[in-house]
Amino acid sequence: MTDVSKPLVGVIMGSSSDWDVMQNATNILKQFGVPFEAQVISAHRMPDEMYAYAKSARERGLRAIIAGAGGAAHLPGMVAAMTIVPVLGVPVPSKYLRGEDSLLSIVQMPKGVPVSTFAIGEAGAANAALTAVAIIATTDDALAGKLQEFRATQTAAAQAMTLPVNE
Ligand code: RP5
């Protein structure tokens, strides 16, 4: 059973401007009842806080860190460099390059320090959270049941879909 008294997932992002996207992650964690914390930690504006966060993540009990950033998005990689807690990187859409810069910054980690990288934007944030749920569900049968139910609901919705051509 999951201990709800302390966060199991850390959701961090480079700026409050990332929140519109990153709330798609926290919404999923809320839906599954997974305790989380969410805060702004900027790699280039708050390097000391980033260091302290990553270094303390494991001893504080975090099982996954979802890190969102846009542009030259070094936050997920830098955090991954300082902890063995799995880091799930979310590329946030950027103003000029629509997040392709964020995606490439996050996904191209050199061999040895992985960042699990998700789709640009809302889908990526939601899927990162679903992956965090899946990680925790490996040792939490009740949560695994909820995840299976979530998938079954999606399957039923797809099976019930109709097309105008057949009506
Ligand atoms: C990155 O710079 C943040 O993750 C954000 O996506 C981007 C822009 O930040 P703001 O200028 O909006 O604060 O560090």
Residue nearest to atom 6 of ligand 1 (CA): 70
- What is the tens place of the pLDDT at every residue in 60-74? 999 999 999 999 999
Whole-model pTM?
Answer: 0.95
- Is the complex ipTM more than 0.85? yes
**C-alpha 139 to ligand 1 mean position (Å):** 35
pLDDT at 4: 54
CATH, domain 9-166, list 1.25.40.10, 3.40.50.1970, 3.90.1560.10, 3.50.50.60: 3.40.50.1970
Residue nearest to atom 9 of ligand 1 (CA): 15
Closest CA to 25 of 69, 81, 80: 69
pLDDT at 167: 77
